[in-house]
Structure 1
Amino acid sequence: MIEINNTLTPQDLLLGIQRMWQSSAEKILSIEQTCGPEVGSPVFTVDGKYTAQGWTEWTQGFQFGSAILQFDATDDEQFLEIGRSKTQQLMAPHISHIGVHDHGFNNVSTYGALRRLMLEGRIAFQESELAGYGLALKVSGAVQAARWSETFDGDGYIYSFNGPQSLFCDTIRSLRSLALAHHLKHRLMGENDEAISLLDRLIQHARTTSRSNVFYGEGRDIYDVRGRVAHESLFNINDGRLRCPSTQQGYSPFTTWTRGAAWIIAGYPEQLEFLAQIPDDELEVFGGREQIEEFMAQAALAACDYYISESPIDGIPYWDTGAPGLEKLGDYRNQKSDPFNDFEPVDSSAAAIAAQGFLRLGNWLKTQSSPDADRYTQAGLTILFHLLEEPYLSFDSAHQGLLLHSIYHRPRGWDYIPEGRLIPCGESCMWGDYHLREAALMVQRMAHGQPYYTFFGPTEDATSGA
């Protein structure tokens, strides 16, 4: 169980964050030198070097988005140039990619981040450039929303790359693409010129995920423990009924793959922050603010509480809460995580994603005057504090990864096992590095009293010249 440090402040993390940005700069430049587009998008490291792994193209936005975050945090113009030029040169195919559920990962991390920086006045305002980013985000959100399966109860979901029967918990974080497209007053056009609301599909997907992929201890099955998360839910596409939980990257359908739980932890609070910008009357047709916020908060709180109870004391979890080798680690929940054990790998990328979710949930609860707000804020700070220390933060100039000891696909055995070890350790992944940077930027802004970091940023009419 996480030992939450209730005395930590954002300022207490600044030294670690500064050291992280220093190491981060070196690693971004190294990746630029060795990972050209001809070799495929970098996914994870093998013996310290980033390599591609064919499955789906979901990490290129994290690669160039990391450079944009580096500029955001440090004002170093070379990283803005990397992020902006590579977005313009290479990211266009991701805008109209009809085969993935990852638009929020690829396109919001690049086009969305550049748009946000321009609206914040961090980069020079260019009307045509801003319009180009907006158009990319409109198309991306609509294409994402078109991957649609209906459920028997009148709702629906954005289906995963596995096909129309498959709902991944990951996609809750990718809803940011629909959110931004709606924010830009876009909609999806269907047959007979039917105008389909992107906000409607966002809310439906979030509601279906909360009902299907998150458990609440209400007797759904004998493994129904509050806060447990199913990586995948499978539906009968003939009648739209939920059939069973499943998983692609976890140990079993009845255990919790911790990165999947982290997507839930990050995704729902982020959407609660976005919905706070939507007028009440606009939400009435979709059930009203109270109903929508209730199911989103319920899912976030349940997943966060389970994550706290099932993680080691530093908040850095093992890759699955039911992994069979955990019993050989003894009372692992009351010890620090051990990435060098011989039985089950930890997944630091899950911790990096979750840390931001805890911070956002705490922030949203504070706006609701909840007495529990500080608990989740401090949990997020505690997790990030430990990620900014060794053995997780890498200072080895020969290693291209920033956040060590992450896992991609344990069941398929894709992760590198160093010589002399029995399980994967010591490696990094593009989403883990990206989310460590994103969480660090968020806390850095909090510490300096700068504008609160959101994916949607300020509105156009709040900026001069927009």
Structure 2
Amino acid sequence: MRFDNHISPQDLQPAIDRFWAISGQKINDLNQNYDSAQGSPVFTVKGKYTTRGWTEWTQGFQYGSEILQYDASDDVSFLEMGKKNTIDKMAPHVTHFGVHDHGFNNVSTYGNLLRLMNEGRIAENLWERNFYEMALKASGAVQARRWTTLPNGGYVYSFNGPHSLFADTIRSLRALAVSHQLGHSFMHENDAEVSLLTRLIQHAKATADYSVYYGEGRDAYDIRGRTAHESIFNLNDGNFRCPNSQQGFSPFTTWTRGLAWIMVGSAEQLEFLQTIDDSEFESEGGRIAVEGFLVKMARASCDFFIKHSAADGIPYWDTGAPNLHKLGTDYLDRPADPFNEFEPVDSSAAAIGAQGLIRLGCYLNDQDSAVGERYMQAGLTVLKTLLEEPYLSTDPSHQGLILHSVYHRPNGWDHIPDGQSVPCGESSMWGDYHARELALLVDRIANDKTYLKFFL
């Protein structure tokens, strides 16, 4: 990636304003024309949202987008839309024991509504507050129950089963964090009380230890910042067995959306942990140790993203994809080409990863302003690219907001348009949501408003 130190959040304000105007049109189109009976919208095919999922993991992004649109625009119609859809349709996600996606679905909906009330952006209403808080308390406990114990900790296991740790899940730690802040805990057999904060920290540590590489000789492919989508464990003794990948090219290459989840998940947990008293870290080795492994993970993954993305900040879908060499040895030295013949880009990884870069930059700014600014500029570079064509979807007949997202390249689920040889031109619900979250974060920074955070 190429970037300088001359982009300010204020420089992007006109493009962000245009983005929100387009976003509102897309949300209204989806709300009015999508048939929810077919399931949650996942990605577009020929510009229309359709469903194709392993689980209903994108519904919270759909309704969360409505709430973010209100946040950015003050248009009450989007608030009412988001409230109604959350109340009518999100309850099954609160008690869904079969997934690792509670931070995606429930913090994006109930969590955003509670945040707006805490910020004074929507009227205080005790019944509503209690409703949102109860949903978030339950969601955190349900997520924490999905637990595999390791000799020195454990992790929230993926929908593949107890042997499986996903890179994605570090962002579902949001659910545990908010539930803990609300004074909740997970009650186990015989009324044993389990700390949600402890499980949050232990899952983050497992991710740092097994999902991220640091160039320290772990294996023959140990490159600093590289990540594995899935880590496999022997449930008989808790030993790590091997890396794996569900949606990337291989266990020994980096699927860039998994990388991006780790970037933003580790950075926002560093922000959250600033609200926790030092005494609560004692059982996990103390604050310095916990923040130390999170900073190491965040910086390694963000540095890898910067090094392995194209000049404009857009990554290809996997940094080891087999046909990247056909793009030429200099393919990272020029802007990404979403219409190339060999490998797709993934704009959703860019939208997710950029937020991680900016949050890490803000976190590190007080410690080392030059280091913090480097990550900030990288994140703003990505956002600047996403706010313009060919990534911003300006065609009102296309229901997606951010183009050139990829869902599952190995399974061949992504639409390939006529005349193209790789997927391009389509959007995803997670890519659109995270572009909105990213734009709102920078919008608030630009206007010196309350810093956007998921926690209380």
Residues 51-60 or 367-376, more deviating? 367-376
1:127 aligns with 2:126: yes
Partner Cα separation in structure 1 for residue 288 and residue 145 of structure 2: 27
Question: Hey, what's the Cα distance between the residues in 1 that align with 2:99 and 2:26?
Answer: 28
Q: Residue 376 of structure 1 corresponds to which residue in structure 2?
A: 375
How far off is 1:370 after superposition? 5.2
- 2:190 pairs with one of 188, 192, 200: 192
* Separation in structure 2 between the aligned mates of residue 253 and residue 285 of structure 1, nearest angstrom: 33
Following the alignment from structure 2 to structure 1, what is the Cα–Cα distance between the partners of residues 5 and 187? 49
Please give the secondary structure, in 2, of the residue aligned with 1:285.
Answer: helix
- How big is the shift at 1:388? 0.4
Q: Letter of the aligned partner of 1:177 in structure 2?
A: A
Partner SS for 2:49 = strand
Written as runs of structure 1 = structure 2, the 5 A alignment for 1:67-466 is: 67-152=66-151, 154-330=152-328, 331-369=330-368, 371-457=370-456
Q: CA deviation at 1:281?
A: 1.6
Distance in 2, matches of 1:368 and 1:113, equals 29
Superposed CA deviations along residues 63-122 of structure 1, whole A, max 9, x for unmatched, are 000000000000001100110000000000000000000000000000000000011100
Distance apart, 1:251 and its partner CA:
0.0
Deviation (angstroms), 1:322: 0.4
CA contact (8 A) 1:62 1:434 kept: yes
Cα distance in 2 between the residues matched to 1:360 and 1:42: 28
Helix, strand or coil for the counterpart of 2:240? strand
Alpha-carbon separation, structure 2, partners of 1:447 and 1:218? 39
Structure 2 counterpart of 1:215, which letter?
Y
Tell me, what secondary structure is at the counterpart of 2:443?
A: helix
CA–CA separation in structure 1 for the residues paired with 2:236 and 2:34? 44
The separation in 1 between residues aligned to 2:42 and 2:53, in whole angstroms, is: 9
1:1-47 deviation line (CA, Å, top 9, x unaligned): x1113100000111111111011011001101122331210000000
Cross-structure match for 1:14: 13
Partner Cα distance (1:370, 1:31) in 2: 42
Q: CA deviation at 1:128?
A: 1.0
Determine helix, strand or coil for the equivalent of 1:175. Answer: helix
Runs of 4+ residues over 4 Å off in structure 1: none
Secondary structure of 2:323 counterpart: helix
How many angstroms apart in 1 are the aligned matches of 2:377 and 2:187?
A: 43
Q: Specify the SS of the correspondent of 1:316.
A: coil
Amino acid at match of 2:273: L
Counterparts of 2:202 and 2:258 in 1: how far apart (Å)?
19
Q: Equivalents in 2 of 1:49, 1:200: separation in Å?
A: 42
How many aligned residue pairs are there?
A: 455
Query: One-letter code of the match for 2:179?
Result: A
Q: Which residue of structure 2 aligns with residue 461 of structure 1? A: none
2:389 alignment partner AA:
E
8 Å contact kept, 1:35–1:41: no
Q: Partner letter of residue 42 of structure 2?
A: V
Structure 2 SS opposite 1:324: coil
Cα distance in 2 for residues equivalent to 1:384 and 1:289: 32
SS at match of 1:343: coil
Q: CA deviation at 1:420?
A: 1.1
* CA deviation vs aligned residue, 1:178-227 (integer Å, no higher than 9, x gap): 00000101000001110000000000000001000000001111000000
State the secondary structure of the residue aligned to 1:351.
helix
Paired amino acid for 1:87: T
The farther-off stretch of 27-36 and 251-260 is: 27-36
Alpha-carbon distance in structure 1 between the residues aligned to 2:136 and 2:370: 37
| Cα displacement (A) at 1:334 | 0.5
CA distance in 1, matches of 2:226, 2:385: 24
CA distance in 1, matches of 2:285, 2:76: 45
Q: Displacement, 1:283?
A: 1.6
Quote the offset at 1:286 in angstroms: 2.1
Per-residue deviation at 1:409? 0.2
1:65 aligned partner:
64
Tell me if structure 2 keeps the 8 A contact 1:45–1:401.
yes
User: One-letter code of the match for 2:323?
Assistant: G
SS in structure 2 opposite 1:233? strand
Cα distance in 1 for residues equivalent to 2:319 and 2:217: 20
Structure 1 unmatched runs, 5+: 458-466
Amino acid at match of 1:301: R
CA distance in 1, matches of 2:239, 2:334: 42
Q: TM-score, normalised to structure 2's length?
A: 0.99
2:111 & 2:238 partners in 1: Cα distance? 33
Q: Which ranges of structure 2 fall in alignment gaps of 5 or more residues?
A: none
Instruction: Provide the rounded CA distance (Å) in 2 between the counterparts of 1:179 and 1:368.
Output: 24
Residue identity matched to 2:148: S
- In 2, Cα distance between equivalents of 1:386 and 1:369: 27
- 2:6 is paired with a residue of what secondary structure? coil
Normalising by structure 1, report the TM-score: 0.97
**Whole-angstrom distance in 2 between the partners of 1:411 and 1:15:** 38
User: The residue matched to 1:255 in structure 2 has which SS?
Assistant: coil
Secondary structure class of the residue paired with 1:156: strand
One-letter amino acid matched to 1:228: R
**1:149 partner SS:** strand
Aligned partner letter, 2:161: G
Offset at residue 285 of structure 1 (A): 2.5
Cα deviation digits, residues 313-350 of structure 1 (max 9, x gap): 01100000000110000111111000000000000000
